[in-house]
Amino acid sequence: MHIPLLLLPVLGALTQASPIISRASSWPNAPFTTSGRDIKNSLNETVTYAGVNWPGAADTMIPEGLQYQSVSTIMTKIKDLGMNVIRLTYAIEMIDDIYENADTSLKTAFIQALGETNGTKVLNQVLISNPSFTENTTRLEVFDAIAAEAYTQQIYVHLDNHVSKGIWCCGHDDGNAWFGDTYFNVTSWKRGLAFMASHASSWPAFTSISLRNELRTTTNGTGDNWVSWYENMIPAADGIYAATTGQQNPVTEVRNPFSSMSLTNVNEIILVLSGKGGVGKSSVTTQLALTLSLRGHSVGILDIDLTGPSMPRFLGIESSKVRQAPGGWLPVPVHESQDATSSTAEGNKPIGPLHCMSLGFLLGNRNDAVVWRGPKKTAMVRQFLSDVHWGKLDYLLIDTPPGTSDEHISLVETLLKTAAPGQVSGAVVVTTPQAISVSDVRKEINFCKKTGINILGVVENMAGFVCPNCAECTNVFSKGGGEVMAKDFSVPFLGSVPIDPAFIALIEEGKRPVYPEGTVVAGQEMPEQAKEPEDNAGTLVEKYQSCSLFTIFDGIVGQLISNTQP
């Protein structure tokens, strides 16, 4: 059993504006309100809850332990322990029963849950320990009796909805985990909360209520979604408010955390596209990001390549975990910003911060292939677009799944709908010399036209080879096809990128790139290394500056920036 997470938010939502019920100024001096971290009673004294859990949400849906001792004996023991509150848990199923055909008697409840033999045995023990009950006493009347005794002994009652279906809580596969789970009918839950709040308003010891114990992901992966949390919790709290005061809650309108969504402060969104996988889309995304950051821009990478989210590996942050924040996820930092004085950039230029969000962080295993169906992918992408707290970004690069299928189109459409008009600057199309068959590129360009995406330019990757041994860059494959093709289609050509094994060693092993003396890449001689060749200390962005591909990407990014200017 765990403490309900929702106690304080709910108290806040419930009681800030008006009392649950007005009572004279005597114990418990309700209503309680919240003030910062404190709970205050009606005399403005701070109340500290020291409580015990009294479970009543398991299979019988009757508060437990009554076969051993009376309600008053149990309450006295609680008091003797120095406790001042009970968290009384209940299942929504009990209220569903009440709505369907009146509440179940103790006899029926015990026999239904425990079977004829055990049920009858436990029932008889309950009746012996608690002579005021009969076999026809209802479950809700047991809750009433406990609340009455709590008032007598001055113990606060905090009501807690533990589960929908009455069972011992909590697992990911118990059907009670998240809104809409097998037994977690949201309408019935809201009705149950309002019913219990209204019913308990007549208990003088009733001081607070929580909305739901331990929300958790379901086994099929629903949950952990702040938007759905918010969209369900607020009306539920409002329902309790209305049920107990007869008024609309005036508080909630004011603070919708989702009014400024995560993309609001992102200046430019650039998609990285390719018709096929394996052409270097993720390596291009990585290098565009590092280069933009080395020019002082703040950059985010969103990896929605659900077929193979490889960004965590490229950025060397595979073991990082995404943190939750109210309203969403915090992206994982790759490096923070450096000002000119502390900068490790050539010429001491400031370095912009780089953050990344990837589905890879949410998958357990690097090799977990995601075989979700289309709608689920679209939902996931939508959540990625709306729930990541990027903060202020100059550029958000999106590594998209390869292809031009219908599913792909719907992902891009979701993106266009989520972003503000003009926020998506366009797409960088990655191709290789071999892939430059006219039909492949035509597909890609048609795709952009269909979805209304501006083509910022084409990058031809894997054109040529930077030999680690002989200071030469050879064109193993053809080169220049990309440029011709870009001309044919009247789209900008951003540059050719050779294969550089030193880049792979940098990504895979964290090795600072070194080249034989006199190596010339893209017409430029690689400069002498300032560091010892064996010095592999430093961050990815520092070491990337020694990579032959950095010079090329610096040129690509220069063009890209001028192409994104309106």
Radius of gyration from C-alpha coordinates of the chain: 31
Q: Are 254 and 238 in contact (CB under 8 A)?
A: no
| Contact set for ligand ADP, span 256-315 (CB under 6 A) | 274, 277-283, 310
The option from ligand ADP, Mg ion, none interacting with 278 (CB < 5 to 8 A, set by class) reads ligand ADP
Among 313, 310, 290, residue whose Cα is nearest residue 300:
290
- Min separation Cβ 277 and ligand ADP, Å: 4
Query: Of the listed pieces 76-84, 229-237, 335-343, 503-511, which binds ligand ADP according to CB under 6 A?
Result: 503-511
Here the tokens at position 554 are: 């610096």
Q: Is 281 annotated as a binding residue?
A: yes
Here the tokens at position 175 are: 């059907």
Among 564, 486, 496, 566, residue whose Cα is nearest residue 270:
564
Task: Please state, in angstroms and rounded to a whole number, the distance separating the CA atoms of residues 403 and 56.
Answer: 53
| Contact set for Mg ion, span 296-335 (CB under 5 A) | 310
Tell me if 503 contacts ligand ADP by CB under 6 A. Answer: yes
The option from ligand ADP, Mg ion, none interacting with 411 (CB < 5 to 8 A, set by class) reads none
Give residue number: closest CB to Mg ion. 282
Q: Is 328 annotated as a binding residue?
A: no
Here the tokens at position 223 are: 């949950």
- Min separation Cβ 472 and ligand ADP, Å: 16
- Min separation Cβ 315 and Mg ion, Å: 12
Query: Of the listed pieces 176-184, 225-233, 328-336, 492-500, which binds ligand ADP according to CB under 6 A?
Result: 492-500
φ and ψ of 189, to 5 deg: -65, -45
Here the tokens at position 534 are: 């064996």
Tell me if 499 contacts ligand ADP by CB under 6 A. Answer: yes
Q: Is 478 annotated as a binding residue?
A: no
Closest to Mg ion by CB, 286 or 338: 286
| Contact set for ligand ADP, span 370-409 (CB under 6 A) | none
CB atoms within 10 A of CB 298: 22
Whether the link from the prior residue into 31 is cis, omega within 30° of 0, is: yes
CA distance readout (Å), 472 to 434, 464, 476, 530: 21, 10, 12, 21
Q: Are 130 and 137 in contact (CB under 8 A)?
A: no
Among 14, 40, 26, 326, residue whose Cα is nearest residue 159:
14
Closest to ligand ADP by CB, 60 or 310: 310
Q: Are 292 and 395 in contact (CB under 8 A)?
A: yes
Query: Of the listed pieces 216-224, 244-252, 279-287, 466-474, which binds Mg ion according to CB under 5 A?
Result: 279-287
Tell me if 191 contacts ligand ADP by CB under 6 A. Answer: no
Q: Binding residues for Mg ion, per CB under 5 A?
A: 281-282, 310
Q: Binding residues for ligand ADP, per CB under 6 A?
A: 274, 277-283, 310, 461-462, 497, 499-500, 503-504, 507
Residue numbers in the known binding site for ATP are 275-282
Residue numbers in the known binding site for [4Fe-4S] cluster are 467, 470
